[in-house]
């Protein structure tokens, strides 16, 4: 069996240098990387390492590859639900998970990224948050080196499955309900950015809805930024009956802007973030349960590892009005006894004042 010593000898470098290259550490020159990579190819080192891991029952590891967003901290809620759902499902399926982030792969070549996962005995990768700009990650997915599950990316192949809600139908459903509830026939739609697969599917749904029902429609690009959604709402919302947004965060921003304008327009969002319950106004939104989506992605990975072919899998969603009382687990009725007590105390106070005023009036009359 070829060992790391053999690779180091072939490349003419130290064993520690080979380890650094294989694990993607910084501080190694391009020339040294080339020598090590050439040696691993020549000696067929990586496949033999994986075979060794298989024989010792250490294979079958799954990588969660997550694109962390730095635009807003609220996005952390989604990523943490993804991780939580995957961990719980992996325990049921007895799968070993490794969590990796897009930023950890920056600066690596396509070959180095594949080796990065192979030396960790990764057999499958579940990819979250990939956009059309992530061309290198798409090349990784299409390389055939691993079984792949893409979350919210409508791409499939013999070794690639796609898991997520039907964004097109879900967007149509929540917008249609909001329009019908408010007897409106016009819609301002604030879409996400052009490089988001999910945003483009949602936009397709809105366009199809407006065409089928004859609704007056204005589409403006909010890029998933709350500031842009606010500016769009301030400028255009007064001319339309409903404001629909491609994300909950933009919906919250739109509702705030409407409050500043002191006009009412129903707003609907998309995601089902807990934050919607604290927005001060009830808004329709699509709840897709990111934890369940991630668990379903793990199930799909097990299917692929078992020899199944790639496919598109839709997960459930529901339309909800996120309510503050539901968020904190109380009933709005529990305020009733307190309101009643305050009203009774107020009535007693008014009665006392009336009695005192009557007494003073009577005293003046006697004088």
Question: Do 161 and 294 have their domain in common?
Answer: yes
Residue 358 lies in a domain: no
Residue 280 lies in a domain: yes
Average pLDDT over residues 260-278: 89
Q: In this structure, what token pair is assigned to residue 312?
A: 């598109």
Question: Do 39 and 114 have their domain in common?
Answer: no
- List the Cα angle 44/49/55 in 5-degree steps: 130
> Could you identify the residue written with the tokens 């819609």?
187
CATH number for the domain that contains residue 24: 1.10.260.40
pLDDT above 60 (res 72):
no
Question: Do 185 and 240 have their domain in common?
Answer: yes
pLDDT recorded at residue 204: 98
Please tell me the total count of domains within the chain: 3
Residue 356 lies in a domain: no
Question: Do 238 and 299 have their domain in common?
Answer: no
Residue 326 lies in a domain: no
Q: Which of 65-74, 161-170, 218-227, 315-324 has the lowest mean pLDDT?
A: 65-74
The more confident residue out of 181 and 18 is: 181
Question: Do 261 and 294 have their domain in common?
Answer: no
Question: Do 18 and 114 have their domain in common?
Answer: no
Average pLDDT over residues 313-335: 71
Q: Which of 38-47, 100-109, 205-214 has the lowest mean pLDDT?
A: 38-47
Question: Do 78 and 41 have their domain in common?
Answer: no
Residue 32 lies in a domain: yes
Question: Do 117 and 32 have their domain in common?
Answer: no
The more confident residue out of 142 and 72 is: 142
- Residue 19 belongs to domain spanning: 1-52
- List the Cα angle 279/282/285 in 5-degree steps: 95
Distance CA 121, CA 52 (A): 10
Question: Do 101 and 153 have their domain in common?
Answer: yes
Is residue 245 within 8 Å of residue 202, measured between CB atoms?
Answer: no
Q: Residue 19: enclosing H or E segment and its boundaries? A: helix 15-22
pLDDT in tens, 78-94: 889 999 999 999 988 88
Residue 227 lies in a domain: yes
CATH number for the domain that contains residue 268: 3.40.50.2300
């Amino acid at each position: 069996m070829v060992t790391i010593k053999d690779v180091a000898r072939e490349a003419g470098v130290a064993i520690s240098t080979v380890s650094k290259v294989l694990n993607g550490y910084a501080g190694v020159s391009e020339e040294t990387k080339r020598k090590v990579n050439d040696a691993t190819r020549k000696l067929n080192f990586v496949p033999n390492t994986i075979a060794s891991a298989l024989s010792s029952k250490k294979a079958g590891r799954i990588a969660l590859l997550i694109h962390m967003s730095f635009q807003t901290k609220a996005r952390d809620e989604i990523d943490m639900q993804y991780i939580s759902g995957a961990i719980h499902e992996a325990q049921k399926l007895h799968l070993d998970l490794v969590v990796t982030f897009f930023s950890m792969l920056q600066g690596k070549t396509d070959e180095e990224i594949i080796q990065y996962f192979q030396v960790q005995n990764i057999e499958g990768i579940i990819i979250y948050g990939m956009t059309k700009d992530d061309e290198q990650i798409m090349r990784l997915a299409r390389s055939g080196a691993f079984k792949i599950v893409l979350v919210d990316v409508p791409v499939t192949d013999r070794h690639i499955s796609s898991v997520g809600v039907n964004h097109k139908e879900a967007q149509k459903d929540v917008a249609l309900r909001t329009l019908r509830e408010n007897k409106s026939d016009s819609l301002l739609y604030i879409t996400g950015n052009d490089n988001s697969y999910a945003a483009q599917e949602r936009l397709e749904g809105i366009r199809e809805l407006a065409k089928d029902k004859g609704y007056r429609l204005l589409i403006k690009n909010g890029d998933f930024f709350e500031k842009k959604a606010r500016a769009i709402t301030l400028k255009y919302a007064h001319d339309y009956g409903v404001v629909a947004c491609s994300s909950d965060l933009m919906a919250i921003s739109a509702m705030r802007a409407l409050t500043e304008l002191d006009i009412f327009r129903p707003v609907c969002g998309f995601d089902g973030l807990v934050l919607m319950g604290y927005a001060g106004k009830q808004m329709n939104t699509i709840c897709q349960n990111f934890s369940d989506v991630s668990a379903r992605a793990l199930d799909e990975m097990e299917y692929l590892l078992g020899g199944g072919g790639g496919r598109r899998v839709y997960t459930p969603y529901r339309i909800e009005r996120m309510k503050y009382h539901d968020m904190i687990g109380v009933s709005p009725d529990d305020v009733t006894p307190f309101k009643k007590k305050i009203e009774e105390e107020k009535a007693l106070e008014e009665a006392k004042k009336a009695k005192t005023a009557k007494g003073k009036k009577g005293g003046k009359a006697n004088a």
